[in-house]
Amino acid sequence: MKYEKLAGSDLEVSVIAFGAWAAGGWMWGSTDRNEAIKAIQAAYAEGVTTIDTAPIYGQGTSEEIVGQAIKGNSRDKVQILTKFGMRWDLPKGDFAMHSKDNSGKDIDVYKYAGKESVIYECEQSLRRLGTDYIDLLQIHWPDSTTPIEETFEAVATLIEQGKVRYAGVCNYDVSQMEEAQKVCNIISNQVPYSMVKREIEEEVVPFCLVQGKSILAYSPMERGLLTGKLKSGHQFAEGDHRAQNKFFTDEFITKTNAFLQKIKPIADEKNATLSQLVLNWTVNRPGITVALAGARNAEQSISNAKAMHFELSEEEINFINDELEKI
């Protein structure tokens, strides 16, 4: 495994991090707690020390699973990244979506980051995670109803109290990052990024490179699309959000698989899987510090961790980039 410090901090993270959204079950068609715990522990055994979760993932389930998985480990050997700002228990802020919890009960989700809510959510996260501090606390989505200044004054207070080490953002554009930085030192932005979703290269990546902010790339496998295992006509389980996503149309799956077959010889030469090749390419992109890789079981976790067991040459990276342009 490779490790990097998040820009402007002494927080050293594994460049492949365990993304615990799917572990929470919500929007992924349920979860198996025991398998999820084993997945996190298997990742840790392979050198993945960084775990990214959020309260909304299973409405607390993911954080509880993370807490159980790391119990007994030296706390300073693991970096816990979690979030705030998505409430399913408080109808306040920007309405985000109608959804169902893991039991099938209807819930309404709101993006809300008022000061009292930030403090409350942090306390709940600490309890579920079974820890007394969070390494990186990130706002999950922008909330247009609350001034950014108010939100990050609350985060700054939590840092002063020792409950949070560093502050980050998720899904923020450049102007929002600049606003937050006026109040609190922001060390990272967690944003969607994959071979087929590269919009952040236009503004966010250049800004972060100049300002010294790290980028945590989520959904680098584009929620399973870039594994090459999905075929046109795939039927997703009930409650799986991918069924309605544009990347999972038969046409796009077919085009993507054709691209993956073209780059497969590189993976074969490295004795690697396509997934490992995709993850390795991701962390080699300018400005990207961490790739968040989800896993539902130990086998997937181990495979993700081994993505850093080989090097890509400049020639190989250029070939992949050229083929990407043809999709």
Catalytic residue annotation: 57
Terminal C-alpha separation, the chain? 31
Alpha-carbon distance of 244 to 76, in angstroms, equals 40
- Report residue 130: phi and psi, to 5°: 65, 40
DSSP class of residue 76 equals: G
Closest among 135, 162, 139, 163 to 152, alpha carbons compared: 139
Three-state DSSP state, 19? strand
Contacts of 202 (CB under 8 A, 6+ apart): none
Closest among 64, 65, 5, 126 to 301, alpha carbons compared: 65
Asked if 69 contacts 40 with a C-beta cutoff of 8 angstroms, the reply is: yes
Three-state DSSP state, 292? strand
CB atoms within 10 A of CB 211: 14
Asked if 159 contacts 165 with a C-beta cutoff of 8 angstroms, the reply is: yes
Alpha-carbon distance of 39 to 208, in angstroms, equals 31
